[in-house]
Amino acid sequence: MTVTRIEVLLFAQAREIAGRSTIAVTLTVPASVAALRAALAQAHPDLAPLLPTCRFAIEQEFASDDALIAPGSEIALIPPVSGG
């Protein structure tokens, strides 16, 4: 078990709420996406209301809540999309 710093890319309303395009949280790895979601809500309460509606992507692929995050992976928070 190692504690590591995970950087998360932010977009759209999440980026606007946080006022920056990446945020970091510390997690004990291996950590699941669900653990990352919980850690983000705790470390950044202003983002907490948005988080239940968001998905996460690992290495540019959508990841389920039980997916594990490897240190150094590209992690992104994906708010509800509105393309088209």
Residues of the shown chain interacting with another protein in the complex, contacts defined by CB under 8 A: 9, 11-13, 15-16, 57, 60-62, 76, 78-84
Residue 68 CB, nearest distance to another protein (Å)?
19
Residue 65 CB, nearest distance to another protein (Å)?
17
Hey, what's the torsion of the CAs at 69, 64, 34, 43, to 10 degrees? Answer: 70
Of 38, 45, 53, nearest to 6 by C-alpha is: 38
Residue 79 CB, nearest distance to another protein (Å)?
7
Q: Which is closer to another protein, CB of 2 or CB of 60?
A: 60
Q: How many Å apart are CA 80 and CA 52, to the nearest integer?
A: 10
